[in-house]
Structure 1
Amino acid sequence: MKRSIFTTSIFLIFLVFSLKTNAQIPFELNNNGHIIIKAEINGVEGKFILDTGAGLNAIFTKFSNKIKNEKTNNFFVGHRATGEELNVDLYNAKSMEINNRGFSDQQYTIVDLEFGDIDGMISLQPFRNTPITIDYNNKKILFGRTTKGEKSIDIQIADYAGKAIDIFTYVELNDHLKIQTLLDSGAGKNSFWFSSKLMEPLKLNKADFKAVPIKSDFKKENNYYIGKLSTINTTNKLRKVENLDAAFIVGLIYEGKTSIDWLGHILTIDIAKKKIFIAD
């Protein structure tokens, strides 16, 4: 039986949509464990860190000079993990594309930083309604991948009036202290930061840690107590790391802030379902 032109057209449209939805986007994993992707903002391509802890999309000044920026009358006031206040203007992105997939209604801010050949950070803002899979094994990003039957951990969503978004989960330290930690892919690999307030309930002696004053990119100095922590677990015991290098930081605004690589090799962040699915 011959297939009608109409049926063939519908099939081709579905195929193209399916390929675009499930497109595999290569990423670069640099020496610090940052996930580097290519994206276009306002028609200009750049290299961006995929940063689940950024809150909002950000471009660096050098890249901002390459594009036409549409400033709004809106601004956002937030804080970096180590306490610095950020009062930033917001700009409308006329277009944002990742691997030819467009994300509408996006905003960004401009940050006066230089980070090698990196042009900025892509936050979770574009993926509020689109599950995003990070495949560390094959260094690929996927959209719309099925997660049926996969194990998962619960996440909590911090949505700052639609202007910024972060994700958190509960973990256990040393198998008994339950805390909430920010999940920050922008932290790189094997990054485990905790508030210095937790040292007492964990019965940790500061004398056993190396005290190091560290200045941030924004010149704020915090004291870091650097040493070993016995364990960190997801509360459902799905993932566990032992004998980890950790930093307990004076002035950290979160109970904890960790990278996401320790959770698994194939992670799907599904904001709508408030879960991270773990395939490997």
Structure 2
Amino acid sequence: MKVNYVICLLLLLPFHSFCQSVNKDEIPFELLPSGHILVKAKIDNVQGNFIFDTGAGITVFTKTFFKKLVHTTLEDGGYTAFRATGERVDLDLYRVADFEFGGLKKAEEEISYADFDIAGIDGIISLKLLESRPFTIDFEKKVLRLESPANLAMIKRTAKKLPVQLEQSREKSLVIFSYFKINDKLNLQLALDAGAGKDIYRLNTKYLKPLNVDIADTLKVKKIQKKSEMNEAFASTIYITHLKTLAADDQPTINVKDFSVQFVNGLIYDGIIWINWLGKRITFDLQDKMLLVQR
């Protein structure tokens, strides 16, 4: 699983404040220049700004925000996670009271916190919070909409259906995947990650050879070393190049062509991709293990 604490530092880009919608079923968001989705939520009567991250696995607050909360309970057991790069992270888990996310209200929620600070960001909200509630990310209206059964039925009649696979870990974290065909050759299961950042497509380095990528060709392939933001002793080797096509296996018209890709050594998945490009509206129906995409 991936726990994305620092969100690649891209969030240092400036953003503007935004107001909560009157319609509690529509949660407004700001789409940051980095491609991340910024939302508001209230926990224990404290409002904060959070990145909505479908690849995070677990909801994580900053230490500064966590200290503002009065009603928190430390759990006896912890959780060991792995960032997508393979870096191990050992987490303490807490129960926090009164989690409000638009019209969704939970008396308590399981979270963790980490000692990082990014201006204007109070943490990451994971997909786990919404696993039992269908919702739509509407990039045109810039709202995250909690869908009623009637609305969901209407969407199903016209949207493209993209099957997803759920990675549940001890009922504490949730990440979703779908199959995509790369260069009309490999059919890989990729994590769908709203927190990856703009135009991010990452593949495991074991697919360099099958995709005929020659890392010795320095004119076409750039090699970089990226240190972890959490542990400077941990670094990833990354090869950056271009590939021809990436298309959803079940919906080939959902595709991207001539795109920049990062091959990451030690990646724990086949790959990771951002999701904003899939469609103008993306409805998550996790009970039926389906994304409903409207382009």
Q: What secondary structure sits across from 2:85 in the alignment?
A: coil
> Secondary structure at the residue paired with 1:201?
coil
Q: Is the 8 A contact 1:103 1:126 kept in 2?
A: no
Q: How many pairs does the alignment contain?
A: 260
Structure 1 residue 210 and structure 2 residue 222: aligned? yes
Instruction: State the match for 1:239 in structure 2.
Output: 254
With the length of structure 2 as denominator, give the TM-score of the two structures.
0.85
CA RMSD across the alignment: 1.2
SS of match in other structure, 1:62: helix
The match for 1:96 among 74, 96, 99 is: 99
- Contact between 2:85 and 2:268, CA under 8 Å: does it hold in 1? yes
Q: What are the within-5 Å matches in structure 2 for residues 1-280 of structure 1?
A: 20=24, 23-68=25-70, 69-144=72-147, 145-146=151-152, 147-149=155-157, 150-206=159-215, 207=217, 208-218=220-230, 219=232, 220-236=234-250, 237-280=252-295
| Cα distance in 1 between the residues matched to 2:59 and 2:229 | 18
Work out the CA distance in 2 between the residues paired with 1:103 and 1:244: 40
**1:93 match: secondary structure:** strand
Question: TM-score, length-normalised on structure 1?
Answer: 0.90
Provide the secondary structure at the position in 2 that maps to 1:126.
Answer: helix
Pair 271,100 (structure 1): closer, same or farther in 2 beyond 3 Å = closer
| Shift, 1:34, TM fit | 0.5
Q: Is the 8 A contact 1:106 1:125 kept in 2?
A: no
Aligned residue identity for 2:55: G
Give, as a single letter, the amino acid of the residue that structure 2 aligns with 1:43. N
Residue 65 of structure 2 aligns to a residue whose secondary structure is helix
Structure 2 gap segments, 5+ residues each: 1-22
Q: Distance in 2 between matches of 1:25 and 1:205?
A: 45
- Check the 8 A contact 1:195/1:251 in 2, yes or no: yes
Q: Answer yes or no: is the 8 Å Cα contact 2:180–2:187 preserved in 1.
A: yes
Work out the CA distance in 1 between the residues paired with 2:106 and 2:247. Answer: 35
Per-residue Cα deviation, 1:184-214 (whole angstroms, up to 9, x for no partner): 1011221101111100111111123100111
Moved over 4 A (4+): none
Deviation for aligned residue 1:276: 0.5
CA distance in 2, matches of 1:228, 1:75: 40
